[in-house]
Amino acid sequence: MTTFFTVLILTYSVQGEELQMRMVYESEAACSSAIALAGALVAEPLAVQCVKSNLISWSPRPQARPDDLEEY
């Protein structure tokens, strides 16, 4: 299964100024797990979301056949 890099976007406010923090994860599942920890980073986040990119982080690659493989 091919997985794509996913960005966690955390939006929060400090003294009335809106700020964003972005963190890159290797999969959407890892990013989703990190959402639960967003409260530990910021007391009251305004928004937390995961955005999947189109950049591949992992893809299965076919294995080459061995040269000594006998045909049946």
Tell me the mean pLDDT in the region 45-69.
82
**E strand map for the chain:** 3-14, 17-25, 47-58
**Higher-pLDDT residue of 61, 5:** 5
> Which pair of structure tokens corresponds to residue 35?
């959402």
Read off the pLDDT of each residue in 21-35 and give the average, rounded to a whole number: 94
- Least confident among 5-9, 23-27, 37-41: 37-41
Q: Is the pLDDT of residue 67 over 90?
A: no
- Give 26-33's long-range contacts (Cβ < 8 A, gap of 24+): 26/57, 26/58, 27/3, 27/57, 27/58, 28/3, 28/4, 28/52, 30/6, 31/6, 31/7
Tokens 């290797």, residue located: 26
Is the confidence at residue 19, as pLDDT, over 80?
Answer: yes
Domain boundaries of the chain, sorted by first residue:
3-58
